[in-house]
Amino acid sequence: MIELMDTNAAQIAAEFTRARARAGSPAMGMVMTLVIVVDEDDAEDAMKAARAASHEHPARVLGVILGDGRGAPQVNAQVGTGSGWSGETAVIRLSGEVVKHAESVVLPLLLPDSPVAIWWPNHPPEDPAADPLGRLAQRRITDAASATRGKTRAIHHQCQVYTPGNTDLAWTRLTPWRALLAAILDQRPVKVTSASVTAERISPSADLLAAWLVDRLKIPVERKNSNGPGITEVVLRTNQGDARISRPDGKLAVFSVPDRPDRPVALKRRELPELLAEELRRLDEDDVYAETARRLVALEGKRTK
């Protein structure tokens, strides 16, 4: 790691080039730029997750830490390559007036002609797509479950301001659940008449899952509470009986469908690096998430009316 104090984008870019030459491999195998906008407190964990995800998606990772907006503008950076990274990394600390103009530092550091993803591990902007940094990216990743207060409001808000390219890790967390639920109907094409989703009282993922089921199956879906962890049970009611996936411990689920023996199935809650890697796998618009987000907003509107 090279420390650059009171620096600018050009010097950071020059350091990237020098670091590559020092490492003896001047070629760039990176496929995207990942910008992480994060607090000082969470920076280390976020960079660690990005490092793990960079094995699958070699990226230039720019950690942007927005400091105190008062005082003289200052840009400090730590630049590095190698040692566990299959890409390049810079942690850029901004303070003073430049905090409001972070995009001016990030823009010159984007890899030419390749996709940009941005991730807010905690405090996302009001409207990610309108955010000056968010505008640089075609994939904008938020995480409603990381909100310290008002997680439910956080996911509703993200769904309200949905713009193509937005995505939330609360949605990513659902993929294994959705895959198993789809597998139930793969196996027997029956008509589902109603459904229920049971989870911790506050669970953005559970809200999204319920909205997805309503949207796809056009049925009423009941949202029930349990002590968690996360989502604990989903039931699809059909005219041939109930199909059910229950996961009381966050690891192992029981899969039961009518007229078939119950079967255990591994359904582990996934860690951040896995979620991030899934998110980076596809960078085009997620149409199914778009429809689910729209449905969640509509359901909420009906409920509060």
Partner 1 sequence: MTQPNPLRDPRDRRLPRIAGPCGMVLFGVTGDLSRKKIMPAIYDLANRGLLPPGFSLTGFARRDWADQDFAQIVHDSVKAHARTEFREEVWKQLAEGFRFVPGDFDDDHAFDQLRRTIEELDEERGTGGNHAFYLAIPPGFFGDVVGQLKEHGLSTPRDGSWRRVVVEKPFGHDLESARELNATLGEVFPPGSVFRIDHYLGKETVQNILALRFANEMFEPIWNNTYVDHVQITMAEDVGIGGRAGYYDGIGAARDVIQNHLLQLMCLVAMEEPVSFDAENVRIEKEKVLASVQLPARLDKTTARGQYAAGWAGGQKVEGFLDEDGIKKSSTTETYAAVTLNVATRRWAGVPFYLRTGKRLGRRVTEVAIVFKRAPHLPFAASSVEELTQNALVIRVQPDEGVTLRFGSKVPGTQMEIRDVNMDFVYGGSFTEESPEAYERLILDVLLGDPPLFPRHEEVELSWKILDPILAHWAKQDANGKGRPEAYPSGGWGPKSADDMLARDGRTWRRP
Q: Candidates 68, 113, 126, 287: give the one binding partner 1 (CB under 8 A).
A: 287
Task: Classify each residue of 277-295 as buried b or exposed e, where b means 16 or more C-beta atoms within 10 Å of its C-beta.
Answer: bbbbeebeebeebbebbeb
Site string for partner 1, 113-152 (x = CB under 8 A): ----------------------------------------
* Residue 267 interacts with partner 1 (CB under 8 A): yes or no: yes
Q: How far apart are CA 127 and CA 191, in angstroms?
A: 39
Closest CA to 137 of 16, 33, 274, 280: 33
Q: Which is nearer to partner 1, 40 or 271 (by Cβ)?
A: 271
Contact criterion met (CB below 8 Å) for 295 and 212: yes
Closest CA to 210 of 238, 242, 235: 235
Size of the site for partner 1 (CB under 8 A): 42
Q: Which positions from 232 through 251 interact with partner 1, judged by CB under 8 A?
A: 251
Q: Which is nearer to partner 1, 89 or 95 (by Cβ)?
A: 89
Q: Candidates 2, 4, 13, 31: give the one binding partner 1 (CB under 8 A).
A: 31
Contact criterion met (CB below 8 Å) for 261 and 276: no
Q: How far apart are CA 30 and CA 114, in angstroms?
A: 9
- Residue 109, classified by CB atoms within 10 Å of its CB into exposed (0-12), middle (13-18) or buried (19+), is buried
* Residue 29 interacts with partner 1 (CB under 8 A): yes or no: yes
Q: How far apart are CA 123 and CA 39, in angstroms?
A: 8
* Residue 266 interacts with partner 1 (CB under 8 A): yes or no: yes
Q: Which positions from 197 through 226 interact with partner 1, judged by CB under 8 A?
A: 216-217
* Residue 10 interacts with partner 1 (CB under 8 A): yes or no: no
* Residue 286 interacts with partner 1 (CB under 8 A): yes or no: yes
* Residue 18 interacts with partner 1 (CB under 8 A): yes or no: no
Q: Which positions from 150 through 189 interact with partner 1, judged by CB under 8 A?
A: 172, 175-176, 178-183, 185-187, 189
Q: Which is nearer to partner 1, 159 or 174 (by Cβ)?
A: 174
Q: Edge-to-edge, what's the strand order for the sheet holding 59-66?
A: 2-4, 74-81, 88-95, 59-66, 32-38, 116-119, 139-142, 166-168
Cα 37 vs. chain centroid, distance in angstroms? 13
* Residue 57 interacts with partner 1 (CB under 8 A): yes or no: yes
Q: How far apart are CA 4 and CA 78, in angstroms?
A: 6
Q: In the complex, what is the shortest distance from the CB of residue 189 to partner 1, in angstroms, rounded to a whole number?
A: 5
* Residue 228 interacts with partner 1 (CB under 8 A): yes or no: no
Contacting positions for partner 1 (CB under 8 A): 27, 29-31, 55-58, 86, 172, 175-176, 178-183, 185-187, 189, 216-217, 251-252, 255, 257, 260-261, 263-268, 277-278, 282, 286-288
